[in-house]
Structure 1
Amino acid sequence: MSDAGFFLDAIDVASNRTMRSFYEQLVSLQGVQKNLDPSCMRSFSPDPTLCFFPQYVLRFIKTPFFILNSVYDVFQFHHGLVPPSADRTGRWNRCKLNATACNPHQLDALQGFRRDMLGALMNFYKNSRTGGMFINSCFDHCQSALQETWFAIDSPRIHNKTIAEAVGDWYYGRKISKEIDCAYPCDTTCHNLIPTSVSIHQSPVNLEL
């Protein structure tokens, strides 16, 4: 299971590919290229470092795989879609701290990011026979780490199913488990844990499926 690991090859609000540049540097620094999937690298031979991005390597993964992610993943929101280098005047500061403070233009950008993520996941959603997914619309990052978001009375839900229930259905083969949420702000079960407002008092998670 991948929790908050579906990082997009996104174009930021300044029309730059900040995450692609970062990944290229990371692959070079750590010498990762020799360990990337060979089939993926052949498909992206002009730029094999793209195979460090989940959206490009996903179709080559044969291991049963569950993807847990928010379409408004706050780490990607703050560092991929609106990195500091793309917002030197701070126009996005209030929106980053509270989604209700986003203006219509900013909300359009966030909805565009959601569309890009769902587009990147669609082949997996339609064609993977062993895969599962829980793609919600909460402003959060890493939702399996806290009991509050994993399996509690008020945990986030899609179609009245918690993350733990969705993962359990997939893991034990009880039923097809591919859940996609509606767009912000329709999901009233979200905790919207923006990093600067997350409480330091975190309960241990009980990884019950």
Structure 2
Amino acid sequence: MKQEVCIRRMWHQHEKNNRKSANMGTSILSPRRHLNRGVMTFVTLLLFATMATLVWNYEGVQRLVKLVPTEGFSIGAKRPTNVLTPNLSKENETSTGSDSLKKEDSAAIPVEIKPLQPLVVDLTILKGAVAKGAVCLDGSPPGYHLHRGNGVNARNWVVFLEEGAWCESEAACQLRARAHLGSSRWMNVRTFEGILSNSEKVNPDFYNWNRVFVRYCDGASFSGNMSLSVKDKGKVLQYRGESIWNAIIDDLIEKKGMKNADKALLGGCSAGGLSSILHCDKFKTALPSANVVKCMSDAGFFVDTKTYKGENKIQAYFKSVVDLQNVTDTLPKYCTEKRNPIECFFPQYLLSQMKTPLFVVNGAYDWWQMDNIVAPDPLGEWDHCKNNASRCTAAQLNIIQGYRQELLDALKPIQESKKHGMFIDGCFHHCQASYDAFWSGQYAPHVNGQTASQALGDWYFERDTKTNSVVDCAFPCNPTCPPKTSGALSVGRPSFRNWSKRG
């Protein structure tokens, strides 16, 4: 009897629990439904983590998301080049890749039907550079990507410096130190395009040269020279851009064979383009046995000019960079002996005394300079004009055209020189050389029937001795400007660091 009572009590308690669960809306899942819910939760978390990673790494987002091309940073790559993934592999002084295997795989395909495959090049970390003080902002070793040349051009070199603006304060440099523009721990593989491409169609003049892409992680155009570490809120910053430059060039010369170079070209985009000007004569000095050494700057000719309100924000900004990272000692002596060191960070004050031939590629309406130098606009008064130049008022157009004239005036030493050259199109964009579409593809601006790629090649190899300067007519005359840039100052990508909006 007692056993029967116990069984009934257990049954009643079971029914009571079931009713309670039903009232609370708790469903009893089968093992399969439990598994499905677990898989869905895992997939959701994975997608969220991926999106968070891409949002944190701006470069990865810009290359992964196929926005309509507006300028060099947002188009071209077939796969993300710097998705924010810490470099956890063992740091070494040599890069290992499958470049030779790719060549063998594609060698049997006829040229006329060969598909254009992205060339992804591994990162070379210079661990030994740390002992020389050549370190990124966070103290990690610097790095570069090298794809070897072949055939008759196996002794020729293109060295290209990465873009990425600057950091003018310890807080700004701390922010950079947490990503690939301040730490090699966050660098990854790189897709080679444009002037770095191994496609003869895309890059006919340099496709089989040794091509090097130097990573930018110092925040001062490879020119910082602070010997002591700087502590900020318990964290240490290193301003060693000049040491990074020396370490990488030394490694290329001594260990990678650049000392045997026959021809060489130093280039760069944006902040890297400015650096290629600042280091141009040093590059020539480092290769005394080379027969031809020249330099090119892509969107790196920043003009010392005032804003539309008459403020000289860019000079104040560059002063902060130069002072913070002790850049003065690394600037060309022929300039600093006669001028304020801040002025010597502007290319226009260096041209007349540069010894090494230089080629400048620049949009006459460089959107970065429009957005940060000419019309920094915290109140939004220029928003309509910046989104579409056809909406600019007559006064705004006058300011824009005035900037173009200031750019051309600053470039007069090149126009008057037989050794220098330039390609100035009438488009609103920023950087061309490291992207297929802008360099020689469907979005490459044409001036007098030439692209910037063709003009550079003619100048470098002295194929056209008539003129080294190609200058476009004023906006809006050029129908070959990239879509949404022929009438837009900056679409799809905000300024890297919109310092004009602070205070």
**Aligned counterpart for 2:453 among listed residues 164, 171, 180:** 164
**Aligned counterpart for 1:78 among listed residues 371, 385, 409:** 371
**Aligned counterpart for 1:38 among listed residues 312, 333, 338:** 333
Deviations 1:89-110 (A, max 9, x none): 2110111111111111100000
TM alignment of 1:1-209, pairs within 5 A: 1-44=296-339, 47-83=340-376, 87-126=377-416, 128-153=417-442, 155-175=444-464, 176-191=467-482, 192=485, 194-197=489-492
CA contact (8 A) 2:348 2:411 kept: yes
Unaligned runs of 5+ in 1: 199-209
- Which residue does 2:55 correspond to in 1? none
Superposed displacement of residue 60, structure 1: 2.0
Q: Percent identity?
A: 38
Letter in 1 for 2:478: D
CA RMSD of aligned residues (A): 1.5
In structure 2, C-alpha distance between the alignment counterparts of 1:14 and 1:48, rounded to whole Å:
25
1:118 is paired with a residue whose SS is helix
2:308 is paired with a residue whose SS is coil
Superposed displacement of residue 163, structure 1: 1.0
Letter in 2 for 1:52: F
- Which residue does 1:205 correspond to in 2? none
Superposed displacement of residue 30, structure 1: 1.1
In structure 2, C-alpha distance between the alignment counterparts of 1:180 and 1:32, rounded to whole Å:
32
Larger Cα-atom Rg: 2
Superposed displacement of residue 194, structure 1: 4.6
In structure 1, C-alpha distance between the alignment counterparts of 2:298 and 2:384, rounded to whole Å:
26
CA contact (8 A) 2:299 2:361 kept: yes
Superposed displacement of residue 153, structure 1: 4.9
Superposed displacement of residue 145, structure 1: 2.5
Moved more, 10-19 or 142-151: 142-151
In structure 2, C-alpha distance between the alignment counterparts of 1:28 and 1:6, rounded to whole Å:
21
TM-score by length of 2: 0.37
Do the aligned partners of residues 113 and 52 (structure 1) sit closer, same or farther apart at CA in structure 2, a change above 3 Å counting?
Answer: same
Paired residues, what number?
192
Unaligned runs of 5+ in 2: 1-295, 494-503
Query: Higher relative contact order by CA 8 Å / sep ≥ 6: 1 or 2?
Result: 1
